[in-house]
Structure 1
């Protein structure tokens, strides 16, 4: 195992790849000890069966702190979570801020933590606990803009985009008036941005980044910066973007936005299975075989601005949750989804998630176990195959086979709000994963599915 040197002042809470140098974050001592790393470096194997969890620290608990969230990390492990994406943890600008607490994405200092959430020691304890539970930690990084309180505004105004009158502006074409747009023509700013990211990798032991509006930042910045990261250690990079060029070098995984939109449309009766099939074909033509897309029914943007899963998907929400695990790619759980959350979380105010188990916690637990253990659901750089299975009603019934290394999983779903009867051009003996029943499938058998009913079949 890789050995790491740590100061005694932070032993037990610090999990990092180096000794912290920031005076405000630790106390130096001459005495040192050696501990062993408990989590292997990021690798292609972990990407095959990973589940991502988006952590909204402010809203996750009544306290809204790192420490309160850390207590529940073993619970997330039960859901099969392998990657913990933490929404921005940095101090929030108050100048031009929105609401009483402001936006996580209006950063005033890239190398400090928001005191609202706790201390740097509390964050280190979170990282160590995640690593102890076999979970990688990626930080939400906001590279396109800063808050109006950021020190760069005073010390380096040349880092920012300016209008014709020489005034620093917010990002053009947006209503993001609480942030100042960064100018990537400035090479010194690029270097400082890279160094601030390196701080979290080298000093605080994080495993990568989820990069906000990644497509609005020049691709060559990401390519060069991530190449520097990889000289230090392997990293996991998630782009909030769909552009294929982002995935060519810098990023491992991007957003499956169009997949998500197709699911919403089907749930609302605006599209049918034919549109899903077109999307699968589009993915094959747009992306390389080793590109990964993140599948989701919600995230912080969707929840706060476009509505809850219940609002957008209604009675189809459980079926589509399962589909995010069964379809090619990597599934995401947003904070509160495991507790059947049915409210739009306020974005600029405190709005606590109620953690009471209902239908979705055991469902995510089962889906996570299947994703973690069955090669037929591999969705990384060496993904399992996806083969459409023909039915007698391909307009309304989705059926497909995932297969790898002799393992086979079949997904069947009625993608309408009406009961339906159909036949399936596939034969074999299966175990219904959710019910445990044995099923003999034949091409001449008639299947009757209720509205939005689905099955996950493990071939024996």
Structure 2
């Protein structure tokens, strides 16, 4: 028998600025002194041990790189940013101001900030966890300037010819002879005493090639030039290798040498796939095991960024996430899941990173999404077990964090702010003054967190999940042959290896209990699961464990089907074993 693949892992995304913050003032547009800020040092051995016990394998420290901010660090040699080109008080972590530095907000001792980050990397590794950080390749802060770049490194734009809109040798795109114009309707959170000056104007990060972006654009950022002339039919100029490619390679290697285990690459599809195919192989000369995850939203580019780009994993946002969200919201059906896996079939599915929350998405518990954290549990189990790829949790998801008010620039939209200093009440209960335990949690929070903890353990311990094949059972059960099998709210499938056979069954309906039958076609029983046609078998519950066992004969499961009762919002996994 061939060795199984045991590469499945669980990412826990930490928004570093918010994770360890214990202040509870939560003033809209509050300063760092008023609202507080988490630090690298808050993620100490106690916190890491608790996260390890929770069952995650990788920590994505979000917002590590130095970015534009309205907090003044000029006394430490960091140039201030203009209020008209910063979102929020703390600023967006995706408006990077220095690729070679870390966010001073996150340091207890600002001059020692890099050492504090390196200590966090070391601590994380000591606890057997991997470190992922953001790589933001498509755009930088408008006032980008690297104070900490190594000696001899030329800064972005330092050698540009800004009299032309495009040159293969430039790092930026320009609007020659035009000043940058601040978006109309923009109201900065701090008083503006001097105008912002940028001449010539640079193109805005979300491909806005004009001097004045709108207030809904990424106006705080400028687009980087990878050798594509967007104003000339997207002509590609990749020979010789563009300056931006070389600089980005050196930045990735710089962080790899600091012990980072992987990069979550922001808006990877806005950067040419040719660059990724080149740079990922370059970085892997330094560390062959380095992990690359692409944030990508174009289904038709998925294959390209895996095969040509060399990415290990892609966000499955427009695929599975969107489908599950529709189901949870009551305006989609489980039929969508089959369409998604069929599109992502084969080895494609192994490259999908599944999730229901991250810093870009609305909180499950918010009124904009599910309204409570329990409604999404079947979708979370399915996201974690549908295929062998990794899945991700956002910090506080396991506690039912609900964004209920405007937190600053983010507004009241069901998301946890990424632009301002804030305290997350539900999460602060678990932080518990640095104890990182459940003493202050409600019974409901304890139960929810235990569900996620059990799910993490289940995924990592069961071979059929982390390394097994997938077989969809919808087609044989939803054709009217199985009793009361409602193909719009029920979903079922097999995960299997030579050593283990699992049956998953879901009821996504919020209030309806369903009694139905589930059957496995004869050819799947014998050819896929490789089980015999005679003898007794039973369905042994493996998730959740308190489900009663179901006994069956082979003839039952392949013809009449096995009777199961599915409560509302439920997910069950059974192992098929000899009686």
Range that drifts further, 436-445 or 129-138: 436-445
Query: 1:458 offset after TM fit, Å?
Result: 2.9
Task: Confirm or deny that 1:425 pairs with 2:519.
Answer: yes
Query: What TM-score comes out, normalization by structure 1 length?
Result: 0.83
SS in 1 for 2:133: strand
Aligned equivalents of 1:309, 1:133: Cα separation in 2: 33
Gaps of 5+ in 1: 1-43
List aligned pairs for 1:192-271, cutoff 5 A. Answer: 192-202=247-257, 204-233=258-287, 234-242=289-297, 243-248=302-307, 249-257=309-317, 258-271=319-332
SS in 2 for 1:150: coil
Aligned equivalents of 1:129, 1:404: Cα separation in 2: 36
Aligned equivalents of 2:41, 2:576: Cα separation in 1: 43
Partner of 2:333: 272
Query: 1:432 offset after TM fit, Å?
Result: 4.0
Partner of 1:114: 103
Aligned equivalents of 2:336, 2:507: Cα separation in 1: 14
List aligned pairs for 1:374-453, cutoff 5 A. Answer: 374-378=462-466, 383-389=467-473, 390-391=476-477, 392=482, 393=485, 394-417=487-510, 418-426=512-520, 428-442=538-552, 443=557, 444-453=561-570
Counterpart selection for 1:51 from 10, 21, 27: 10
List aligned pairs for 1:161-180, cutoff 5 A. Answer: 161-163=173-175, 165=177, 167-171=201-205, 172=207, 175-180=217-222
Partner of 2:438: none
Bigger Rg, structure 1 or 2: 2
Q: C-alpha offsets along residues 89-114 of structure 1, whole Å, 9 cap, x if unaligned?
A: 12222331111111000011001111
Contact map agreement 2:65 2:102 (CA 8 A) in 1: yes
Contact map agreement 1:49 1:373 (CA 8 A) in 2: no
Range that drifts further, 328-337 or 424-433: 424-433
Give the number of aligned pairs. Answer: 407
SS in 2 for 1:349: coil
Q: CA RMSD in A?
A: 2.2
Aligned equivalents of 1:296, 1:425: Cα separation in 2: 29
Task: Confirm or deny that 1:183 pairs with 2:225.
Answer: yes
Q: Residues 45, 111 of structure 1: CA spacing in aligned structure 2 closer, same or farther, 3 A cutoff?
A: farther
Counterpart selection for 1:155 from 153, 158, 183: 158
SS in 2 for 1:302: coil
Aligned equivalents of 2:550, 2:402: Cα separation in 1: 38
Partner of 1:370: 458
Query: 1:375 offset after TM fit, Å?
Result: 1.1
Query: 1:225 offset after TM fit, Å?
Result: 0.7
Contact map agreement 2:293 2:313 (CA 8 A) in 1: yes
Aligned equivalents of 1:219, 1:79: Cα separation in 2: 36
Task: Confirm or deny that 1:318 pairs with 2:330.
Answer: no
List aligned pairs for 1:290-309, cutoff 5 A. Answer: 291-303=350-362, 308=365
Gaps of 5+ in 2: 22-36, 69-80, 108-112, 146-154, 161-169, 178-199, 209-215, 228-240, 404-414, 431-440, 521-536
Aligned equivalents of 1:153, 1:283: Cα separation in 2: 38
Aligned equivalents of 1:227, 1:341: Cα separation in 2: 39
